[in-house]
Structure 1
Amino acid sequence: MRLSVLDLVPVRSDQSTGDALTATRRLARTADELGFHRYWLAEHHNMPAVAATNPPVLISMVAAATERIRVGSGGVMLPNHAPLVVAEQFALLEAAFPGRIDLGIGRAPGSDPVTSWALRHGAGGVDDQAVARFPEYVDNVVAMMGPEGVGLQLQGRTHPLRATPHAVGRPPVWLLGSSDYSARLAAERGLPYVFAHHFSGQGTAEALALYREGYRPTEENPTPRTFLTVNASVAESPAEALRLALPQLQAMVALRTGGPLLPQRLVEDAEADPVPATHQGLLDAMARRWVIGSPDEAAKAVRELASTYDVDEVMVHPVAGAHTGTAADASPAREETLRLLTAAL
């Protein structure tokens, strides 16, 4: 079974953005050394605890800091961007790091409504119909990254439009989603697909069934391809793994209940200020859907998830926090989650 990593580049209360980026480079090098298959970086905007605002920039940084691991977006939120810009960015990344780049595409905004407006319209951004035209935009990105490019009809003439002058390869395009929509579209287009299991933990089986049942083979992708994503915190003892997961659990409760969004707490701060009793049930329910435990417990949970959803790859989002006194430019508990999990599997 392949293991991969999803990284949102978390920013703790004791970190600057630069510290968080250094910690991500260290985490990526750890994943590379341990033999992880992919390292994907998310797109979120205007969030105090997330520095993953620009996947192409982060991918370039991580790919340059590693040797063999595939690096990609998990994902680029396409309605926020002009398709040509995305195609140009990833065509260049593929040219710079051939055979190591993945382009994961999502349809969600990845931000609050005000930030979405700023991304899409504040500086003459993409059009008002970006979400409705998502299938067309996906097709355009795929075509423009290829050697032939596309033909743009303008004033009665056909003009060639290519993302890069001489492409010799094109990064695989994956569709990402947390609803049925992307599952159906990926099946129709014959593209690989990933359901955001780490985000809700619900609806995964139904979405994957829709994708597999409706899949239309293509020459590039003759069979459906998918994998599973899951939040993970692994430590030598189950109690310590849960302690390390607490800051992220509290942050997710705040997100779901309209609470204030803050830089990620240190473990001791999270323990000193628990969620209200009315929200404890929500926190406990989320914890049960995550992989939290000792190495053997975590390995068993990952194997069971892979078996349940019939996948041969699992992408873990290492959510282990940090104790007071941890070096600001490091995330040792996140690195240890990867080490302990691979050793147990």
Structure 2
Amino acid sequence: MLDLVPVRSDQTSADAVAASVRLAKLADELGYHRYWVAEHHNMPAVAATNPPVLIGLLAGATQRIRVGSGGMMLPNHAPLVVAEQFALLEAAFPGRIDLGVGRAPGTDPVTAWALRHSGPADADDTVNRFPEILDNLAAMMDPAGVSVTVAGRRHALNATPAAGSAPELWVLGSSQYAAGLAASKGLPYVFAHHFAGTGTREALELYRSTYVPSEEHPEPRTFLTVNAAVAETADEAERQALPQLLTMLRLRTGAPLAPQQLVEEAELTPIADAQRPIVDSMRERWIIDDAAGALKRLRALADEFGVDEVMVNPVGGAHVGEDPRTAPGREQTLRLLAAGRADW
């Protein structure tokens, strides 16, 4: 599953993090394979600002599940810092850490500038040099380390002194660029279907058709992400999906952002006629249904695109009066999907 650590109107950041820790424990208990956290900055409804910190919290609270980033946005960070963070996480939780990386800033231009203490020209250069940065990052995390030349002298560089293993590296994207890059590097690839919605087939076909086998990954590996709200009835699932639909509507139309509404608050929020097609388009791409319908659609999605895994972003909201340190709608989505998994 994918977690943006959403912050509702009834929550503090502490509440939102507590809800995600509880959700990760549940995913671990239910047998989910991966739990990834996103990187977004300066957004009122998202507390996933620092994936390595969250990964340490979540991995420490769980026993088995792989925990990772979906993803680390490399333009925001020095590659060695990312390598050190994830090498240390892998040392603490060997065999359980994933490093998903992307080249988008994950925020607005002003916040991107503040993250780097530099001008936008540096950001553009980082995006243009993304393939080189990806190579450097992988080399730095290798247990053997890497040798670099500075001022005509060779220097050893290790992300951590005595690594026994390295995090699994994934390339994230919502375009053919990322697909082609992952294929050329022999790396696993994730398509961000949960917010792109288009171009999925073309990107995955490009990835598979141009894949260059690597020692670690002789065969291409892919999965895609999808938003899902699953409840006891399809009508209740529609209610629980509404707060996130309205959050995404504000984001897509440039309206002021705010903490995610509770279900009852969202139901009182009017949607302009001109904006209904945007909401309807998102609703059609998301999985919003009861358990049987949701599992059927998930299976169909996996079969349609031939992916190895499907990563669910549970977007079910909460009702007025529910404990702010929990995420009832998201927990319900995970429970209902896990209960029907045997039918696959």
TM over 0.5: yes
> Which residue in 2 is equivalent to 1:90?
86
1:24 aligns to 2:20 (yes or no): yes
Amino acid at match of 2:299: R
Question: RMSD over aligned Cα, in angstroms?
Answer: 1.3
Alpha-carbon shift at residue 128 of structure 1 (Å): 5.6
CA distance in 1, matches of 2:184, 2:270: 46
Alpha-carbon shift at residue 313 of structure 1 (Å): 1.2
Amino acid at match of 1:235: A
CA distance in 1, matches of 2:152, 2:280: 61
Matches within 5 A, 1:30-69: 30-69=26-65
- Contact 2:221-2:308 within 8 A present in 1 as well: no
CA distance in 1, matches of 2:268, 2:143: 57
**Pick aligned residue for 1:329 from 301, 306, 325:** 325
Q: TM-score, normalised by structure 1?
A: 0.97
Percent identity over the alignment? Answer: 64
CA distance in 2, matches of 1:93, 1:220: 20
SS at 2:194's partner residue? helix
CA deviations 1:146-202 (Å, max 9, x no partner) are 122121111211001110001110011000001111100000000000010001211
> Which residue in 2 is equivalent to 1:225?
221
Unaligned residue ranges in structure 1 (runs of 5+):
none
Q: Give every structure 1 segment of 4 or more consecutive aligned residues whose post-TM-superposition deviation is greater than 2 Å.
A: 125-128
Amino acid at match of 2:270: P
SS at 1:50's partner residue? coil
Matches within 5 A, 1:1-345: 5-122=1-118, 129-345=125-341
Aligned residues: 340
- Contact 1:121-1:127 within 8 A present in 2 as well: no
CA deviations 1:93-124 (Å, max 9, x no partner) are 0000000000000010000010011112259x
- Contact 1:82-1:126 within 8 A present in 2 as well: no
CA distance in 2, matches of 1:210, 1:314: 19
CA distance in 1, matches of 2:274, 2:216: 50
CA distance in 2, matches of 1:168, 1:64: 19
CA 327–183 in structure 1, closer or farther in 2 if over 3 Å, else same: same
CA distance in 1, matches of 2:273, 2:313: 27
Amino acid at match of 1:199: F
Alpha-carbon shift at residue 312 of structure 1 (Å): 3.0
Amino acid at match of 1:228: L
SS at 1:321's partner residue? coil
- Contact 2:76-2:115 within 8 A present in 1 as well: yes
Q: TM-score, normalised by structure 2?
A: 0.97
SS at 2:281's partner residue? helix
Amino acid at match of 2:57: M
CA distance in 2, matches of 1:315, 1:154: 42
